[in-house]
Amino acid sequence: MFFSSSETGSIGINYGRIADNLPTPSKVVELLKTQGFNRVKLYDTDTTVLTALANSGIKVTVAMPNELLSSAAADQSYTDTWIQSNILNHYPATQIEAIAVGNEVFVDPKNTTNYLVPAMKNVHASLQKQNLDKQILISSPIALSALQSSYPTSTGLFKTELVEPVIKPMLEFLRQTGSYLMVNAYPFFAYAANSDTISLDYALFKQNPGVIDSGNHLKYDNLLDAQIDAVNAAMSALQYDDVKITVSETGWPSLGDSNEIGAGQDNAASYNGNLVTRVLNGSGTPLRPKDPLNVFLFALFNENQKTGPTSEKNYGLFYPSEKKVYDIPLTMSETNKSLTPVAESPMESAQAPVAGVGRSKVPVSGGEVSVVENKGQTWCVANGGYSEEKLKHALDYACGEGGADCAPIQPGATCYNPNTLEAHASFAFNSYYQKKSRGGGTCDFGGAAYVVTQAPSKSLLFFVIYFFFYQYQPMYFL
C-alpha cells in the first residue's frame, strides 16, 4: 500500500484525457513503463485504459466523478454495482490500489459536499463485501481552498463551515480505514497571485533563505512543504495528527497567458525536476519529518481541450506526440546521475572554477581560519532551534544510511571538537550535502538543517577545512 516503511517517497503521474490528439492507452502504458512510472492516477474508470494497464505492474488510482456522488450516497446497491463493473471486472490484473471518490468536491459548483462522506462509506462497504477494503483504499482529493488559514503554516485551519458537516467525518473515516488524505497543492497559483511577496526560488525548490514559521519556529525552504504542512496543521487542530497526506496533484505549467506570472518551460522544468529529487531524497516536511512524501505529478500530457487560461492546457510533461516538453529526471537512478559531478583530480578540485564561477578557498595561516568570500558559496548547517532528539535522529541518519563521512567527528578525531551536537550535526549534514553535489532537498533533514550563504562561525568551519585538506573533496558552489 502507499504508506510503507520505505525511506523514500514515491512519484506517480496524473493521466488526464481531456484532449482529442492523445496516443492510445496501450501506447501510454508503454510510455509510463519506459519513463519509470509505477503509479498512475486516473480521473475515471475508463474500460479501455484499465484494460491497457492490466499486467503492467503499474499501480492505479481510479476515480468516481463528482456527478455520481449523489447516487453513491443514496443507495449502497448503486456502489455495489459500480464496484462490480468498474473494479472487479479489472482487478487484480489491473493493480487498483485506491479510489478517489470525487475531486475537489468543496469547490464543485454543483454543491456535492453533503454527498461526499456517505458516498465514501458506501464505496468502502461495497469493497468490504468483496474482501477488498484492505487492498483498495478510499480517499478524496481536496483543494487548498478548503483551508480558512494557511499562513503562517502553523495557523492552518479548515474552513469553519466545512469542519463539522464534512471534514471531521471524512478524517474519521480515513483514520478508521487506514487511508490517507489526498491534497491537490499548486505553488504556481500562490506564486502567480503573490509574486511581489513570494520568492520564485522558494516556489521552485531552488536555493533561498527560506521562511521561519513564527508559530512553530520551523524553517521552510520551499512553498510546497509549507502548503502541505498547513493542511497537516489543520488536521492537527482537529486532533487527526495520525492521518497522512498524499499529494494527489501538483505541477507547473510550461506555457501561460501574459498575466500568468511564472508560467514557462524553464520554471516548469525546475519545479518538477527539483520536486522529483526532493521526493526521492526521502525527507518529510518540517512538521512531519518522518513521513516521506508521496506525490502525483500533474500531468502526463498537455491536454488541448481543457478550458480556462492557456496554462490549463500546458501542464504536461509530454506532448501528445510523446515527445518530452522538457527533460527532467523521473527516477532515483536518473536523479543520482543528474546530481553526479564530473570527476576531477584531488589537487585540481580545490581551485578549478565550475561553470565560470570560482570556488572558495580556505587558507590556514598562523592557526587562524579564514574564508575568502565568494558569490554563491554555500554550506549546510544544523538548525540550532530544532529539538535535541530530532537533531540527533537526523545526525544518525546522515552518518548511517545517508553515507556522510563522520569519522572526523568521532572522539579523538580531527574535528571532534567542539564537542557539541550542533557542531557534529553541521559536519555530517554538510558532508552529505557536498556528497550529493548540493542537489535540491539534500540540505533539509526534515527541517533539521538549512543552507547558509555566509561563512559559519569558526566552531563550524572545521568541516570546511576537513573537506579541503583531509579528503581533498571539492566544495561545490552555484
Residues known to be catalytic: 104, 249
Helix axes 265-280, 332-339, angle to 10 degrees: 110
Residue in this structure with the C-alpha cell 538548525, named with its chain if needed: 383
pLDDT at residue 409 is higher than 60: yes
Q: Measuring CA to CA, which residue among 147, 221, 170 is closest to residue 381?
A: 221
Q: Which of 1.10.3480.10, 1.10.3720.10, 2.40.110.10, 3.20.20.80 would CATH assign to domain 10-41+140-338? A: 3.20.20.80
Q: Do 101 and 127 contact (CB within 8 A), yes or no?
A: no
How far is Cα 154 from Cα 218, in angstroms, rounded to an integer?
9
Band of the pLDDT at 384, cuts 50, 70, 90? low
Distances (CA, A) of 373 to 366, 369, 402, 418: 19, 13, 29, 24
- 328: Cα within 13 Å, side-chain hemisphere: 22
Band of the pLDDT at 350, cuts 50, 70, 90? very low
Least confident of 16-30, 206-220, 445-459: 445-459
Mean pLDDT of 125-150: 97
Query: In sequence order, what DSSP letters do the residues of 23-71 get, joined into one string?
Result: PPHHHHHHHHHHTT--EEE-SS--HHHHHHTTTS--EEEEEE-GGGHHH
How far is Cα 465 from Cα 408, in angstroms, rounded to an integer?
11
Q: Do 53 and 29 contact (CB within 8 A), yes or no?
A: yes
Q: What is the pLDDT of residue 426?
A: 86
Band of the pLDDT at 337, cuts 50, 70, 90? low
Question: Cell numbers of 153, please?
Answer: 503554516
pLDDT, greater one: 139 or 433:
139
pLDDT at residue 448 is higher than 90: no
Q: What is the pLDDT of residue 436?
A: 76
Count other C-beta atoms under 10 Å from residue 309's C-beta. 14
Q: Do 297 and 272 contact (CB within 8 A), yes or no?
A: yes
pLDDT at residue 465 is higher than 60: no
What's the mean pLDDT when you consider all of the chain?
Answer: 84
Least confident of 56-60, 63-67, 195-199, 438-442: 438-442
Q: What is the pLDDT of residue 283?
A: 80
Task: Provide the H-helix boundaries in 262-387.
Answer: 265-280, 332-339, 346-349
How far is Cα 101 from Cα 89, in angstroms, rounded to an integer?
19
Question: Cell numbers of 65, please?
Answer: 466523478
Amino acid at 220: Y
Q: Where are the domains of the chain?
A: 10-41+140-338, 342-469
User: For 177-230, how does the pLDDT look when each residue is reduced to its tens digit (9 = 90+)?
Assistant: 999 999 999 999 999 999 999 999 999 999 999 999 999 999 999 999 999 999
pLDDT, greater one: 145 or 408:
145
Band of the pLDDT at 86, cuts 50, 70, 90? very high
How far is Cα 472 from Cα 384, in angstroms, rounded to an integer?
28
Interstrand relation of 244-250 and 219-220 (parallel, antiparallel or unpaired): unpaired
How far is Cα 225 from Cα 285, in angstroms, rounded to an integer?
6
Q: Measuring CA to CA, which residue among 180, 174, 157 is closest to residue 235?
A: 157
Helix (H, G, I), strand (E, B) or coil at 416: coil
Q: Do 220 and 153 contact (CB within 8 A), yes or no?
A: yes
CA angle centred on 100, ends 98 and 106, rounded to 5°: 155
Band of the pLDDT at 352, cuts 50, 70, 90? very low
Query: In sequence order, what DSSP letters do the residues of 241-297 get, joined into one string?
Result: TT-EEEEEEE---S---TTSTT-SHHHHHHHHHHHHHHHHTT---SSSTTS--EEEE
Whether residue 474 is preceded by a cis peptide bond, meaning omega within 30 degrees of 0, is no
Handedness of CA 125, 127, 131, 133 (dihedral sign): negative
How far is Cα 458 from Cα 404, in angstroms, rounded to an integer?
21
pLDDT at residue 451 is higher than 90: no
Q: What is the pLDDT of residue 354?
A: 21
How far is Cα 175 from Cα 93, in angstroms, rounded to an integer?
28
Least confident of 54-63, 106-115, 366-375: 366-375
Mean pLDDT of 26-47: 98
pLDDT at residue 440 is higher than 80: no
Q: What is the pLDDT of residue 405?
A: 86
Least confident of 31-45, 305-319, 421-435: 421-435
How far is Cα 380 from Cα 451, in angstroms, rounded to an integer?
5
